[in-house]
DNA sequence: CCCCCCCC
């Protein structure tokens, strides 16, 4: 079997010309830099006429070489490449070819030999004979030789003449690497972070970061300290800038969803100038969408891009972060797509507050974090996530059409659902029968659910006890019968104590009932009296005490429970604890009732 | 040189 190589393509390319998808043969490879994520390989390629050893493999293609796919003698089609001039110590400049995309036409094991008799390409061989080749290579080369070193002061100011930068040919973002520092990119700002400060063992400072893209790829850039001051106001989302002289380093994939092995840092020498000409050729935000039914197979904590129709949006919830004490606002959306999957996406802060769109918009998110709770996966927006409502993207238009033409009624599998079923966020009310059907409590961590129920019985007898007076310790004290009380937990005796409540009760709803336990705050809320007063009644007015527990019977509340299967004496039973109890907000309760009538009957109410 | 991103 013979293979036709693109004879003469190398000299066109090495002269800076354009050659679309040349077919070449790999004659050798060599590791030139680093190891692990920093590995970089050089290829010896041949077009049958010339061979050239300065083809570099973009690092995202390293696997092809390591796996043996790109073995010697392989015939390949170079689908995408850029060339770049490297300063060659003492000898002027040398052009290298960086391969960005490659297709293996025939594996080396099948070809088995060198095709033709290629001569080594040298800069010298690019003399007169090469000139016609370049001239023939229309349209104009995408990368002209020799952007001369910029003699710009390393400052950014309004009077920086962007034409100096723009007059030079720019480099594709995908070709940037730490091994090549003479470049200018023309890139659009997809997003920009707020200024953040840090203060740790290594020092303190401030920074902001931005995500840049062009039609070849994308990259994260960070400006620290004085660069943060210098560039923060200038950099604006959606604008296009010429940027040069940044430091490149290996990106930590844990913290970015950018499709780039590198990220860049602004330095004292960095030059940025806004592009004042037409920049419509520079694309905006780039997504790499994962179909919803594939999300469950991804690892927790990975960042991914998603697009889906917002099938439902829960109410805004306010909560206090346990670690920081900060007041948080969140909203859970359920997104669906034509893969048959559904997933819960949590938005935070302003984005959660401002979202109240009931028109089932298409939502695209870049860099949402996959998290897991109670055995089910869901997505959470981060400060760095980019959210777009009804974006003008083919995928979004496709989903709009799908949803509006039957997709809305399609059977879906909610990947955020737990083994026993998803409660749709802690906001949804279910029934005891639902909780049983969903086998809530059967997992390792316990499950949470809310319902409207009635207190059918309260066990008054041991509802109040004398507890350790220490703030954090609520251990029941042992009466030493000598005026002192012993705490086994603190291992000491106290002359004083505080009262605490531990109320056992039955709660019923229309579908069933459940023995529950309410600790101090929840029990106080139900009884409508504080624990000190209840303790006083217990001590001095047993009739009033008993009366209190009688009066609360048959009162209704909105309960939030935590339930978990526990084993006592070889017998498994549900331990259900009241996490929160609220009086009924009838406006809200009626809204839920109407919604549920609508669902059950299929009739608009 | 950051890398926190929350809750049930």
Query: CA A374, C1' B8: Å apart?
Result: 9
Distance CA A240, CA A223 (A): 17
- The bridge status of strand A119-120 relative to strand A50-57 is parallel
Looking at residues A429-443, what average pLDDT do you find? Answer: 88
Q: Which of A533, A587, A523 is nearest to A555 (CA)?
A: A523
pLDDT exceeds cutoff 60 at A154: no
Query: CA A522, C1' B5: Å apart?
Result: 31
- Name the nt closest to A384 by C-alpha to C1': B5
pLDDT tens column, A228-283: 999 999 999 999 999 999 999 999 887 888 889 999 999 999 999 999 988 888 99
pLDDT tens column, A193-215: 989 999 888 889 999 999 999 98
pLDDT exceeds cutoff 90 at A164: no
pLDDT exceeds cutoff 50 at A424: no
pLDDT exceeds cutoff 60 at A427: yes
| Paired tokens of A131 | 């000139």
Q: Are A369 and A378 in contact (CB under 8 A)?
A: no
| Paired tokens of A41 | 């390989």
Peptide linkage before A39 cis (omega within 30 of 0)? no
Distance CA A598, CA A590 (A): 12
Quick one: pLDDT at residue A60? 73
Q: Are A261 and A37 in contact (CB under 8 A)?
A: yes
| Paired tokens of A170 | 């720019």
pLDDT tens column, A2-30: 789 999 999 888 887 778 899 999 999 88
- Name the nt closest to A222 by C-alpha to C1': B2
Q: How many CA atoms lie within 13 A of A360 on its CB side?
A: 13
Q: Are A47 and A5 in contact (CB under 8 A)?
A: yes
Quick one: pLDDT at residue A142? 37
Quick one: pLDDT at residue A38? 54
Instruction: Kindly report the bases of strand B lying within 7 A of a protein C-beta atom.
Output: 1-8
- Name the nt closest to A268 by C-alpha to C1': B1
Compute how many other C-beta atoms are within 10 angstroms of the C-beta atom of residue A513: 14
| Paired tokens of A346 | 């949590």
Quick one: pLDDT at residue A517? 93
- Name the nt closest to A255 by C-alpha to C1': B3
pLDDT exceeds cutoff 80 at A167: no
Query: CA A459, C1' B6: Å apart?
Result: 38
In terms of Cβ atoms closer than 10 Å to its own Cβ (0-12, 13-18, 19+), residue A331 is buried
- Element at A499 (helix H, strand E): strand A498-509
């Amino acid at each position: 079997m013979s293979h036709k190589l693109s004879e003469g393509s190398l000299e066109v390319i090495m002269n800076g010309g354009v050659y679309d998808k040349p077919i070449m043969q790999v004659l050798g490879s060599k590791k030139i830099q680093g190891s692990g994520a920093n590995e970089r390989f050089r290829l010896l390629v041949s077009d049958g006429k010339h061979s050239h050893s300065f083809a570099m493999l973009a690092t995202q293609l390293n696997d092809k070489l390591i796996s043996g796919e790109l073995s010697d003698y392989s015939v390949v089609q170079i689908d995408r490449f850029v060339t770049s001039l490297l300063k060659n110590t003492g000898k002027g400049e040398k052009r290298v070819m960086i391969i960005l995309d490659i297709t293996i036409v025939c594996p080396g094991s099948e070809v088995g030999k060198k095709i033709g008799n290629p001569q080594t390409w040298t800069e010298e061989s690019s003399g007169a004979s090469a000139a016609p080749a370049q001239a023939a290579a229309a349209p104009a080369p995408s990368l002209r030789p020799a952007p001369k070193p910029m003699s710009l002061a390393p400052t950014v100011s309004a009077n920086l003449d962007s034409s100096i930068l723009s007059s030079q040919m720019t480099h594709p973002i995908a070709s940037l690497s730490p091994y090549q520092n003479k470049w200018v990119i023309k890139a659009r700002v997809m997003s920009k972070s707020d200024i953040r400060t840090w203060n740790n063992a290594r020092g303190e400072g401030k920074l902001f970061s931005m995500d840049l893209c062009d039609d070849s790829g994308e990259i994260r850039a960070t400006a620290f300290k004085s660069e943060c001051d210098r560039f923060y106001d200038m950099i604006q989302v959606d604008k296009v800038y010429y940027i040069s002289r940044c430091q490149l380093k290996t990106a930590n994939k844990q913290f970015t969803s950018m499709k780039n092995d590198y990220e860049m840092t602004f330095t004292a020498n960095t030059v940025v100038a806004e592009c004042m000409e037409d920049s419509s050729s520079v694309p905006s935000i780039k997504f790499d969408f994962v179909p919803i039914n594939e999300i469950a197979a991804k690892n927790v904590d990975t960042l991914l891009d998603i697009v889906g129709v917002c099938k439902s949006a829960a109410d805004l919830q306010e909560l206090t972060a346990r670690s920081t004490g900060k007041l948080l606002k969140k909203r859970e959306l359920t997104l669906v797509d034509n893969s048959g999957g559904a997933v819960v996406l949590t938005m935070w802060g302003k984005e959660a507050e401002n979202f109240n769109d009931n028109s089932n918009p298409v939502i695209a998110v870049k860099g949402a974090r996959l998290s897991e709770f109670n055995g089910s996966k869901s997505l959470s927006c981060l400060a760095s996530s980019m959210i777009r409502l009804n974006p003008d993207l083919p995928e979004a238009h496709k989903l709009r059409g799908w949803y509006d033409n039957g997709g809305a009624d399609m059977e879906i599998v909610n990947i955020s659902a737990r083994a026993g079923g998803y409660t749709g966020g802690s906001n949804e009310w279910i029934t005891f029968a639902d909780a049983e059907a969903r086998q809530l409590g059967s997992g390792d961590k316990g499950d949470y659910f809310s319902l409207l129920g009635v207190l059918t019985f309260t066990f008054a007898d041991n509802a109040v006890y004398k507890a350790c007076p220490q703030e954090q310790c609520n251990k029941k004290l042992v009466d030493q019968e000598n005026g002192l009380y012993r705490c086994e937990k603190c291992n000491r005796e106290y002359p004083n104590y505080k009262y605490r409540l531990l109320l056992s009760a039955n709660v019923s709803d229309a579908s069933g009932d459940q023995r529950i336990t309410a600790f101090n705050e929840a029990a106080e809320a139900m009884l409508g009296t504080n624990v000190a007063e209840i303790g006083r009644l217990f001590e001095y007015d047993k009739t009033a005490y008993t009366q209190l527990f009688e009066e609360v019977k048959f009162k209704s509340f909105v309960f939030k429970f935590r339930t978990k299967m526990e084993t006592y004496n070889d017998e498994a039973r549900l331990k259900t604890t009241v996490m929160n109890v609220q009086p009924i907000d009838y406006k809200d309760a009626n809204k839920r009732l109407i919604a549920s009538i609508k669902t059950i009957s299929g009739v608009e109410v």
